[in-house]
Amino acid sequence: MKTIFAELYNINDTIFGKISKKKNYILKISKISKINYSIVYIANQKNNISKTQPTIIVENISIFNSGDIIQVEPSGMITFLFEIESDSNLIFVTNKCNCNCIMCPQLQEYVYDDYYIRNKQIISLIDSKTKYLAFTGGEPTLKKNDFLSLLKLCKKMLKNTRIEILTNGILLDDINYVKEIILLNHPHLSFHIPLYSDISKIHNHIVGTDCFFSTINGMYNLAKFKQNIELRVVIHKQNYDRLPQLAEFIYRNLPFVNQIALMGMEYQGNAIKNISDLWIDPYDYKEILTETVILLNQRAMQVSIFNHQLCIIDTQIWNYARKSISSWKNFYLNQCNKCIQKDFCGGFFITSHNHYSKHINPIINLEQIK
């Protein structure tokens, strides 16, 4: 989620609410914020600040849009829980997980927060015209009753919104749990499930638990009810060399999946902790990636590439490259500014730091790519 810092006046508690703009920007405080005021003014200058009126001062006030939902901490940190102009919004269900993936961008924590009440309020405030909303964590299916209740609320409040569930699929091995999800009769669900290898031992090592067959069975259970499934493959040193074999495995064993996403790694959390075991220059698996994409395409399977720069992948698979799954995580290197393909390139995770290919080479004319 996007965060910024601001100067706060007369705000000493965590507050949560929805941005409204008429003549001025204001934050309408949610009823779950236990404070004695209902609005906060937002401004970009300190002139005429009231001694009692809660006020947020930011340099760039245009970063807010009417309909955004934010949380403000007494420290001045503002977290955007929902952005009206973004297609990358999410509901953070829990930070608890039943896996501990070696490249997970979120470190495992031992203090688990309860976001249920806040999430219900977020969903009730979200614009009904929102196209996409993701459920994530941690593992969103862990708190079964909360998860089902949030889905039920989405069906009521966000009838036309596609709900994308980012899950490891382990608990979906329980057919009765899947039936409970299906009985909610939500018309626009999709399940986004990771599969990191065609070999169970490799997949289990990457995710940190023995779950390969539970994940596979979970997908079969979803397929029984004709649910939309996207397979996600994060590529790194532990699994890049068997990508073609994984593609063959998917074709032969999971032909019902709707999409396969081949993704670059995000460099934070466990990924930084285990970087020496994970980092490989994407240029070094360029040919393997091309072979994998072509193999899937020849078998009429939908495949996309995320978080790989166009200058380091083969031009014959450019048509499969997409912008970052989460647009707020994107950035580009200074040398990318002169690249004629920048507007079509997924760029880098903002957390990439120095972990990007040594072969980044801005494309400055079409002759360069022939």
Tell me what percent of the residues of the chain surpass a pLDDT of 90: 79
| Model pLDDT for residues 299-356, shown as the tens digit of each residue | 999 999 999 999 999 999 999 998 765 665 678 899 999 999 998 998 888 777 678 8
Q: Assign 3-class secondary structure to the chain.
A: CCEEECEEECCCCCEEEEEEECCCEEEEECCCCCCCCCEEEEECCCCCCCCCCCEEECCCHHHCCCCCEEEECCCCEEEEEECCCCCCCEEEEECCCCCCCCCCCCCCCCCCCCCHHHHHHHHHHCCCCCCEEEEEECCCCCCHHHHHHHHHHHHHHCCCCEEEEECCCCHHHCHHHHHHHHHCCCCCEEEEEECCCCCHHHHHHHHCCCCHHHHHHHHHHHHHCCCEEEEEEECCCCCHHHHHHHHHHHHHHCCCCCEEEEECCCCCCHHHHCHHHHCCCHHHHHHHHHHHHHHHHHCCCCEEEECCCHHHCCHHHHHHEECCCCHHHEECCHHHHHCCCHHHCCCEECCCCCCCCCCCCCCCCHHHHC
Does 134 score more than 70 pLDDT?
Answer: yes
Supply angle C-alpha 71, 77, 78, rounded to 5. 35
| Model pLDDT for residues 222-243, shown as the tens digit of each residue | 999 999 999 999 999 999 999 9
Does residue 304 contact residue 259 with C-beta atoms inside 8 Å?
A: yes
pTM exceeds 0.85, yes or no: yes
Tell the residue number behind the tokens 């405030």, with chain if given.
125
> Given its phi and psi angles, is residue 208 left (phi above 0), alpha (psi -120 to 50 degrees) or beta?
left
Does 153 score more than 90 pLDDT?
Answer: yes
| Model pLDDT for residues 76-106, shown as the tens digit of each residue | 999 999 999 998 899 999 989 999 999 998 8
Domains annotated for the chain, with CATH where assigned, are 3-79 (no CATH), 90-369 (3.20.20.70)
Does 368 score more than 90 pLDDT?
Answer: no
Write the single-letter amino acid at 84: I
